């Protein structure tokens, strides 16, 4: 038996089936938290933002219509919340207290038996450089890059989430990649 | 062809979103510098995709569900946005504007369905629709002028831009809202409904 689609789960949740809503949450939690994490810069904040996004979906269940992919509705909400968060943080003059690098130093990359200690160290170095370079991008460049590369959304879905045209997504992604290249050079990471 | 255009072509090709992939392949094959640039884009893309996903707390879904259950018993928001002093000041100005509008516009029997729907939304979340209406108001000089009066100290032509920076500060009266909605063409109304759906989800 096929797993129910997102919109089938939405319909069940609308009729009061909390398990269906839980299934929807588990299906999207990792991608959504990853997006919020890269946008907001902190894993704790990311979980709060993702949680708030899901609750907003729940609040508006009765009004949701399957006119778009459910994931684009969800990411659209998360995007608005993270941009509000960034704006409020900036307005309060409160800089980020944590960088985009992993919050917990004990979180080492998963050891791949194919990697030597040297190559693992290099991998870790590249991860850190990338995270710092991402952090230095403008939110509008960071969001398209994250939605494309980390969440795997196509141009049309990104356009829906960011409320712009696919042509804008196309040019913005190109500029974001160029900016990332420049930031990596500035950070001494070369061109990978 | 300039560098930006080449990067855009390569970037779209990398994503499988190129309108003419064969032409991009010829471009890559015919110029070592372009090929090098494409290789850099590929390497960046691979590295980004290899970033480890965040660990999700095992209790995350349970926390969301607990929050969702609370949501069932949560009273609807209505005046939260007016809690800030600036919003109260704006409301005072708008009450005066409403009196003015009431004098200028005789009341019509029953609001049109679209307006009623929007009013329902605004009762749930008053700031949700403000951004949505900015373009419409910007295209209407009278409405723009009325709007600017709510922003003391802001240059007249900066009103909408200022509001766009902080849409929560823009508050509309129902009469003004109804007039704007009634002016929509059927096509605009269709777009408006789509936007309504999208913006209803906003924070």
Residues of chain A in contact with residue B61, where contact means CB-CB under 8 angstroms, are 22, 25-26, 29
Q: CB burial class (10 A; 0-12, 13-18, 19+) of residue B186?
A: exposed
Residue of A nearest to B3 (CA): A178
Distances from the Cα of B10 to the Cα of A8, A157, A167, B19, B199, angstroms: 38, 20, 14, 11, 33
| Shortest Cα–Cα distance, B45 to chain A (Å) | 7
* DSSP summary character for residue A147: I
SS3 assignment for B129-184: CHHHHHHHHHCCHHHHHHHHCCCCCCCHHHHHHHHHHCHHHCCCCHHHHHHHHHCC
Distance CA(B187)–CA(A40), nearest Å, equals 37
Q: Do B54 and A21 touch (CB under 8 A)?
A: no
Whether pLDDT at A109 is above 60? no
**Mean pLDDT across chain B:** 65
Residue of A nearest to B167 (CA): A84
Lowest mean pLDDT among A22-31, A114-123, B77-86, B169-178: B77-86
Highest mean pLDDT among A59-73, B79-93, B165-179: A59-73
**Minimum-distance CB partner of B65 among A18, A46, A50:** A18
When pLDDT is cut at 50, 70 and 90, the band that residue A133 belongs to is very high
Helices (H), chain B: 3-14, 21-30, 32-49, 60-72, 85-104, 113-124, 130-138, 141-148, 159-165, 174-182, 186-199
**A112 has a chain B CB within 8 A of its CB:** no
Token readout for B134 is 């900015």
**Minimum-distance CB partner of A149 among B10, B48, B194:** B48
| Shortest Cα–Cα distance, A2 to chain B (Å) | 22
Q: What is the pLDDT of residue B178?
A: 59
Each residue of A138-183: pLDDT tens digit? 999 999 999 999 999 999 999 999 989 999 999 999 999 999 999 9
Whether pLDDT at B44 is above 90? yes
Token readout for B128 is 């949700």
Distances from the Cα of A71 to the Cα of A31, A78, A145, B53, B119, angstroms: 10, 10, 17, 18, 28
**B17 has a chain A CB within 8 A of its CB:** yes
Closest Cα to residue B61, out of A6, A3, A27?
A27
Lowest mean pLDDT among A65-69, B68-72, B199-203: B199-203
Decide if A32 contacts A74 (C-beta within 8 A): yes
Q: What is the pLDDT of residue A150?
A: 94
Q: Do A177 and B44 touch (CB under 8 A)?
A: yes
Residues of chain A in contact with residue B67, where contact means CB-CB under 8 angstroms, are 51, 54-55, 58
Q: Do A173 and B15 touch (CB under 8 A)?
A: yes
Each residue of A75-97: pLDDT tens digit? 999 999 999 898 888 766 654 43
**Could you count the other beta carbons within 10 Å of the beta carbon of residue B195?**
16
* DSSP summary character for residue B55: P
Expressed in angstroms, the distance from the first to the final Cα of chain A is 44
**A33 has a chain B CB within 8 A of its CB:** yes
* DSSP summary character for residue A101: S
| Shortest Cα–Cα distance, B102 to chain A (Å) | 32
- Chain A residues 139-158 within an 8 A CB cutoff of chain B: 145, 148-150, 154-155
Q: Is the ipTM of this complex over 0.85?
A: no
**A182 has a chain B CB within 8 A of its CB:** no
Helices (H), A41-165: 43-59, 70-91, 117-135, 139-145, 155-162
Whether pLDDT at B10 is above 60? yes
Q: Do A30 and B53 touch (CB under 8 A)?
A: yes
**B66 has a chain A CB within 8 A of its CB:** no
When pLDDT is cut at 50, 70 and 90, the band that residue B15 belongs to is very high
Residues of chain A in contact with residue B194, where contact means CB-CB under 8 angstroms, are 67
Q: What is the pLDDT of residue A117?
A: 65
**B33 has a chain A CB within 8 A of its CB:** no
Distance CA(B94)–CA(B149), nearest Å, equals 9
The separation between CA B136 and the C-alpha centre of its own chain, rounded to angstroms, equals 13
Residue at token pair 């979180």 = A107
Q: Which residue did the predictor score with more confidence, B72 or B43? A: B43
Each residue of A52-65: pLDDT tens digit? 999 999 988 888 88
Side-chain half-sphere exposure of B156, counting CA atoms within 13 A = 6
* DSSP summary character for residue A133: H
Distances from the Cα of B117 to the Cα of A73, B123, B129, B200, angstroms: 21, 10, 11, 12
Each residue of B92-125: pLDDT tens digit? 566 566 555 555 554 444 444 555 555 555 555 4
């Amino acid at each position: 038996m096929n797993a129910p689609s997102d919109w089938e789960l939405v319909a069940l949740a609308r009729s009061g089936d909390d398990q269906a809503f839980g299934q929807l949450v588990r299906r999207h939690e990792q991608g959504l938290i990853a997006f919020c994490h890269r946008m907001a810069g902190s894993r704790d904040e990311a979980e709060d933002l993702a949680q708030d996004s899901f609750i907003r979906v729940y609040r508006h269940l009765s009004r949701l219509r399957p006119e778009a992919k459910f994931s684009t509705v969800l990411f659209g909400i998360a995007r608005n919340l993270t941009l509000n968060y960034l704006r409020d943080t900036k307005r309060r003059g409160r800089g980020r207290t944590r960088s985009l690098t992993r919050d917990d130093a004990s979180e080492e990359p998963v050891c791949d038996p194919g990697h030597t200690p040297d190559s693992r160290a290099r991998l870790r170095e590249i991860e850190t450089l990338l995270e710092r370079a991402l952090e230095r991008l403008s939110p509008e460049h960071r969001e398209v890059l994250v939605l494309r590369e980390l969440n795997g959304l196509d141009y049309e879905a990104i356009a829906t989430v960011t409320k712009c045209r696919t042509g804008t997504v196309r040019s913005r992604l190109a500029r974001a990649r160029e900016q990332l290249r420049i930031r990596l050079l500035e950070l001494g990471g070369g061109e990978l | 062809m300039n560098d930006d255009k080449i990067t855009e072509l390569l970037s779209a090709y990398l994503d499988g979103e190129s309108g003419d992939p064969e032409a991009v392949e010829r471009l890559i094959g015919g110029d070592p510098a372009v090929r090098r640039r494409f290789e850099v884009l590929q390497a960046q893309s691979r590295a980004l995709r290899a970033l480890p996903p965040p660990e999700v707390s095992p209790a995350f879904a349970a926390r969301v569900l607990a929050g969702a259950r609370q949501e069932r018993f949560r009273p609807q928001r209505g005046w939260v946005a007016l809690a800030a002093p600036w919003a109260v000041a704006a409301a005072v100005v708008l009450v005066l504007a409403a009196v003015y509008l009431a004098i200028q516009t005789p009341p019509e029997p029953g609001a049109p369905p679209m307006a009623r729907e929007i009013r329902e939304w605004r009762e749930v979340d008053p700031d949700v629709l403000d951004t949505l209406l900015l373009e419409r108001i910007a295209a209407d000089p009278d409405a723009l002028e009325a709007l600017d009066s709510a922003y003391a100290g802001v240059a007249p032509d900066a009103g909408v831009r200022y509001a766009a920076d902080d849409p929560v500060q823009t508050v509309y009266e129902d009469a003004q809202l109804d007039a704007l909605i009634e002016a929509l063409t059927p096509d605009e109304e269709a777009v408006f409904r789509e936007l309504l759906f999208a913006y209803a989800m906003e924070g």
